[in-house]
Chains A and B, each alone.
Chain A
């Protein structure tokens, strides 16, 4: 009896201790909002705030897509409900796991996937640095998908610690030196652009005049995709096929080093009968009247002007070609005109 009391007391103590340590970890874990760079935290936390089965189109991929497709404009102009799950250096593996996770909450009719990470971006085994993987996974809710993602990530990148995903203090423990007021808010601080449904506004102009889009008759030879990224592209394709989701590949304007990758993606798309829209190709580039100097923020990302052009093009396509119908939804209706109404470009 005496021992039973001790076991019971220990159990209660451990519950209290776990709750305290969970709260401490919540404080220590970094929050990424538009105030300190790419709003990955905002993107993922807000995704879970969306009502179930209300998103018709999901955007996935790297920061290229996060700054190129504006869900609110997609709704305002075309009545399409969409969410941008793109994030900083999101590699194909992360896109796959986030798609899998998103399907637990939404039933999208189409997925638009950015193809930037099919080329070699980093020497890291996952093709993007560990910190970016953490940014994407740390705010995923606990589920079998998250556990699978952690296991896969740590298997592929042996430098990462599996335990540190479960106990984030191991990874972010030195953050106590840089804690700010927002870290102590009971509700995670999401920054001033929290209503943009994953879109990141960039307001600079690249002023790059020497960008040349890829001509239709270019003689580039296809280059090999990063093997692991190609594997996860296949996984995404199969998952979309299983769930009857239209997969659309895109490549947003950036100062590419080798046009061969564009060709590789085209060939892949052709092989599996997947649409591929490359805004680096001169036909689309000119069709939307894109100007790299004024519509890109720098060498890699579209600014808000460019994003408006890309979004409108894709919105029209989704409606006309892929039968994504316009619909009324309060979640987008409430923020209607936010891009035009608020001046984010100061």
Chain B
């Protein structure tokens, strides 16, 4: 038997909640004071100490993190001096092995039980980060970091280690170590992001989760529009949950004047699945593009190869998300969506011509956004269901039952939310949509900063009170883990 640490499922999944813990913010204040108190050139030591401290507290695998970082650091130095495909392969494999063992043990060793194993905190994220670092050195896109401690900070930076994003070394490496002066605007904008993250998490994601869990965990009792409602809400939950974590991560980093890349660009405003993947989990999808899809040949070798590469890339994407057929099926589904999207594109254009609608008209845009969202939602049902078969059954039961009366006879009130909570949830989603629309035209945080101090303070206080009162947390509502922290 393997000697990897065994823990319960609950113990495995409660790390990512730390970002919404009161204690985290107390420590953060202490850290900020320390960071801005030491001389500029030594400030990165504070970040390194905090990152290692953070990882030691919330994970039992600090040794593994150090081991992987040392191995990859050494390989980085060697790869820079000697370009060798074999060396690159060995370095990637040695970095990838802990991820494969801990996240996909059944695939590697049939005798290991998936339910008893604990994946090291953030392993899915820092592994991809390290692979990108090694490949970029091999491709001579970056120079290796010669100081191990500085490299370790890039691998372990505490705001992002739990659930990303997955920044490249050229985006983050220097930023982390150069030391930043206190910048009031950056600081306040960081706080804006943290407040918005809390709004998304506690006002939308965790409230929607109540309905989603009721339906998905008792799927045999629900069909038709129940599944549709749960599917839509899960799509919203997953996005707002992930976006909330990214906002908090970005916000915390910005308090130190460090900018972390955006991970979402209003994905549910996409007009095709291809566009969706350019807007969803951008750091991951661009990683897949740069380190899987393009090395496989991308679209350079004809359509058939392109489709094959798409399928391989999305299967890997599915497998990265978890151990189970449902994730592979979800990945394949997205590849198929893209292939069909491309094949059917000429038909779509002809159809628009026939019914005399411009493909740039608002109507066609809305239509395409709805269709894209619907397709994505079908995929999310498989993604969330307790297994691939269950997911398929749920999709079928969504289509073979017609029960529109559930919107009128209070049936929805039996899914865990009362009328007032539904009102808060729907209002919060609408606020999210409005903000999303506004963000495409202006930078809201800059607009807030331009307002009079009194108005700004009113906005902050109202936002905090609204979350304080109406958010889903506390006794009876133990806040949910950030979903992507589990991948």
A255 within 8 A of B: no
Q: Does residue A317 face the partner (Cβ distance < 8 Å to B)?
A: no
The reply to whether the CB of A176 lies closer than 8 angstroms to some CB of chain B is yes
B457 touches A163 (CB 8 A): no
Evaluate contact between A164 and B474: CB separation under 8 angstroms.
Answer: yes
Residues of A within 8 A of B182 (CB): 3
Per-position binary interface string of chain B over residues 460-487, scored 1 when its CB falls under 8 Å from any chain A CB and 0 otherwise:
1100110011110111110000000000
Pair B464/A170 contact, Cβ less than 8 Å: no
Inter-chain CA distance A6–B470, complex, in Å, is: 30
Determine, out of A20-28, A90-98, A232-240, the stretch whose residues face the partner at the interface. A20-28
Q: From residue A131, how far is it (CB to closest CB) to chain B in Å? A: 10
A234 CA to B484 CA, complexed, in Å: 52
A33 at the interface (CB under 8 A from B): no
Beta-carbon contact of A177 and B464 below 8 Å: no
In the assembled complex, how far is the CB of residue B478 from the closest CB belonging to chain A, in whole angstroms? 10
Q: Chain B residues near A176 (CB, 8 Å)?
A: 420, 469-470
Could you say which residues of chain B place their CB within 8 Å of the CB of A28?
Answer: 469
Contacts A24-B465, A164-B475 given; indicate if A177 touches B22 (C-beta within 8 A): no
Known: A16-B457, A174-B476, A174-B477. A24 touches B468 (CB 8 A): yes
Q: Provide the bound-state CA to CA distance between A171 and B476, in Å.
A: 8
- Please provide the chain B residues from 397 to 421 with a CB less than 8 Å away from any CB of chain A in the complex: 418, 420-421
CB 8 Å contact bits of A125-163 with B (1 = contact, 0 = none) = 000000000000000000000000000000000000101
Inside 8 A of A161's CB, which chain B residues have their CB?
A: 475
CB distance from A244 to the nearest CB of B (A): 42
The total of chain B residues at the interface (CB under 8 A) is 22
Chain A interface category by residue count? 20 to 34
Looking at chain A's contact residues, the main secondary structure is: helix
* Cβ of B122 to closest chain A Cβ, rounded Å: 26
Q: Give the Cβ gap from A179 to chain B, nearest Cβ, in Å.
A: 10
Residue-wise interface mask of B (279-312) relative to A, using a CB-CB cutoff of 8 A (1 in contact, 0 not) = 0000000000000000000000000000000000
Contact of B468 among A21, A174, A177 (CB under 8 A): A21
Contact of B457 among A13, A164, A173 (CB under 8 A): A13
B11: CB under 8 A from chain A? Answer: no
Across the interface, name the chain A residue whose C-beta is closest to B36.
A3
Decide: B469 and A170 in contact? CB cutoff 8 A.
no
- Closest A residue, CB atoms, query B21: A163
Please tell me if the beta carbons of B474 and A24 are within 8 angstroms of each other in the complex: no
Residues in B neighbouring A2, C-beta threshold 8 A? 184
Q: B187 to chain A: which residues have CB within 8 Å?
A: 6
A6 to B184, CA, bound (A): 7
- Docked complex Cα distance between A120 and B135 (Å): 67
Q: Which residue of B lies closest to A160 (CB)?
A: B475
CA distance A13 to B191 in the complex (A): 13
Residue in contact with A177 in the complex, picked from B418, B457, B471, B475, CB distance below 8 Å: B418
By a CB distance below 8 angstroms, the chain A residues around B476 are 174
> Given A13-B457, A177-B420 in contact, is the A170-B474 Cβ separation under 8 Å?
yes
Say yes or no: A177 contacts B421, CB within 8 Å: yes
A280 at interface (Cβ–Cβ under 8 A)? no
- A167 / chain B contacts, CB cutoff of 8 Å: 22
**Contact between B475 and A171, CB atoms less than 8 A apart:** yes
B474 to chain A, nearest CB (A): 4
Q: Which 7 A-B pairs have the closest CB atoms?
A: A173-B474, A170-B474, A171-B475, A176-B469, A177-B420, A6-B184, A20-B461
Enumerate 14 A-B pairs (CB-CB under 8 Å) in ascending A order: A3-B182, A6-B184, A13-B457, A13-B460, A16-B457, A16-B461, A17-B461, A17-B464, A24-B469, A163-B22, A164-B475, A172-B475, A173-B475, A176-B469
For the complex with contacts A6-B187, A170-B475, A173-B477, 20 further pairs of A-B residues with Cβ separation under 8 Å are A3-B182, A6-B184, A13-B457, A16-B461, A17-B461, A17-B464, A20-B461, A21-B468, A164-B474, A169-B468, A169-B469, A169-B474, A170-B473, A170-B474, A171-B474, A172-B475, A173-B468, A173-B473, A174-B475, A176-B470
